[in-house]
Structure 1
Amino acid sequence: MPRPALASALTAVLLLALPAARAEEVVAAVAANFAAAMARIEPGFEQASGHRLTVVLGSSGKFLQQIQQGAPFDVLLSADVERPELLAKSGLGVPASRFTYAIGRLTLWSPDAKAFGDGEAYLKTGAFRHLAIANPAVAPYGAAARRVLEQLGLWPGLQEKIVRAEDIGQVYAMAASGAATAAFVASSSVLAGGKPGSQWLVPQNLHPPLKQDAILITRAQNNPAARALLDYLKTPAAREVIAALGYDLPTP
C-alpha cells in the first residue's frame, strides 16, 4: 500500500477508536426521591457526553455508610446537604465539586382522590389506618416528615399508625399499593407517577429546606465521566427536567 494511503487508513482507524477510548463510566449513588428525574436526565447525559451512566438508588444515609466503607461510587446525589458536607470534611469527597442541584418539596399523598382535601386537618383527625414515612435516621425526606408531625404536635400520638420504609421511593410504593392509607412522599414521585389522588403540598415553614447536594467522590476525581455528570446537572436541559418534576431550582 502506498504511504499516503497507509497514513489515511491509519488515521481513519484512530478516529474510529477515539470515542471508545474517551468513553468512561460513572456510577452515581442517587437519593431515591430523584429517581424519576434521573431516568429522564440519563439519556441526555449519555448522548451529550458519550459516557455511560449507572444509577444506584437508595437512601442518603445508607449511601454515606457505604462510601465510608469503600463502596465504588463515583458521585453522590444526596437528598440533603449534611452528608455531602461530611464526605468533604472527611476527605472522601472533593470539597470544590459540591453544589446544590435541586430543592425538594414534601407532599402528603394518598392514591384515593377522596381521602382528604385539607392535609393538615386529615392528619389531626387520625382517620387513617397507616401513615408511611421514610426512615428519619437515614432518609432526609423522612426526617422532614417527622419534623412536620412534631410541628403539628402529632408525632407522639401517631406512633402506632406510622410505618417506616428505607427510602422515599419505597414509601410511595407502600401508598400506591394500599399498604399505607397515606404517605409523606417527594412531590416529584406524585408528578412522575401520574396518579394525582389526594395531595397536600407541605408548607415549607413546617420543616427545614430540602436542599439536595451533589459531590464528587475522591476516588473518582480523575474520572472524566464523573465530572461530566456533575457539569451536566447544571445545564439548562437538566434543570428543565428537574423543575418539571416539582423541584425548586438553586440559583445557577
Structure 2
Amino acid sequence: MSGAMSAPVTPRAPRDWKRRAEELFTDRLLDERSPFPCVFGVDALRRGTLRFAFVDDTADPPSETPGDGIEPAARGTALALADYAARAPSIGHRTSLVVVYRGALGPHPGAGRDAVKAYRDRFWALLQRVHRLDAHPWPDGIPHDPESPTWEFCFAGTPMFVVVNTPAHERRRSRGFPYFCITFQPRFVFEGLEGSSSQGRNARRIIRGRLDDYDDVPPAPVLGDYGTAGNREWTQYFLEEEEGAAVPPRCPFSVRAPRAPGAQRAGEG
C-alpha cells in the first residue's frame, strides 16, 4: 500500500519498514488467541477494505507557529486523507485508513506517563496542521465546537472518527503499537450501528467485552456513543494509558476560519 508523501493509496508498501508495519498491524487484528477489540477494523481487514498509508519523516518540528512551513508529516497525512476520502465511498461500507509514521514528529520519547503526554501533544499538533491543509470547507452538518456530541474531525468534507496508537501505550494494549499511527474511520462506517439500535448495542457489548480481556486497564470512561448527551468524540481519539488519568479540559483542536482565496492547500507549494 502507498507511501503517503506523494502518491495515492495503493496495494503494497515497497520498503521493508512499511511491509513490516503492515504485517504487524494485520497480525494483531487477525490474532484469534487474543481477539482485537475493534470489530469494525477486523471486519474491514477481512473484507479487503482496510487501507494503509505511510509517512517517513525525520524533520517534522512539533511547533505550531503561525506562518511556519508545512511539515512533511502533515503534508503526507493530508495527501493520504484527500486520496482516501475521495475513494472511501466506493471501497466499501466497512473501511478505514491507517496512517503509519516512522521518524515523524521527533524521536521516540520512551514509555511512561510523560511519553504518553508527548505523543498526545504531537498528535493534536499534527491534526491541527493537517486541518490547515484541507482544501474543503467544514461540512455544514458538523458543529465547529468539539464539545458538541455530534462533532467529529472532518477532512475533504468527510467526518471521520480518529484512533491513535503509540509505542508508549503498554497497559492499554488496544492503543499500543510499535509505530505511531492514526486510524481514520469515516462516520458512514457506523451508520445503522447507533447506540439506540440493537445492532449498535450488540457491537458495543462485544467491543467492551473484548477491551476487558485485551487491555491491562479497564475501558476508558470517556468512551461513549456519538450524538448522545454528554458525549465528546475528541476525548476518545487519544486515550490515556493509566486508569483515571485526566484528559485535557478542552479540546486542543480548533476549526479554522474559511480559507482565503489563494491560500495554500494540500499538495500545493
Q: So what's the TM-score if we normalise by structure 2?
A: 0.26
- Which structure features the higher share of helix residues? 1
Determine which structure has greater relative contact order: mean sequence separation of CA pairs < 8 Å that are 6+ residues apart, divided by chain length: 1
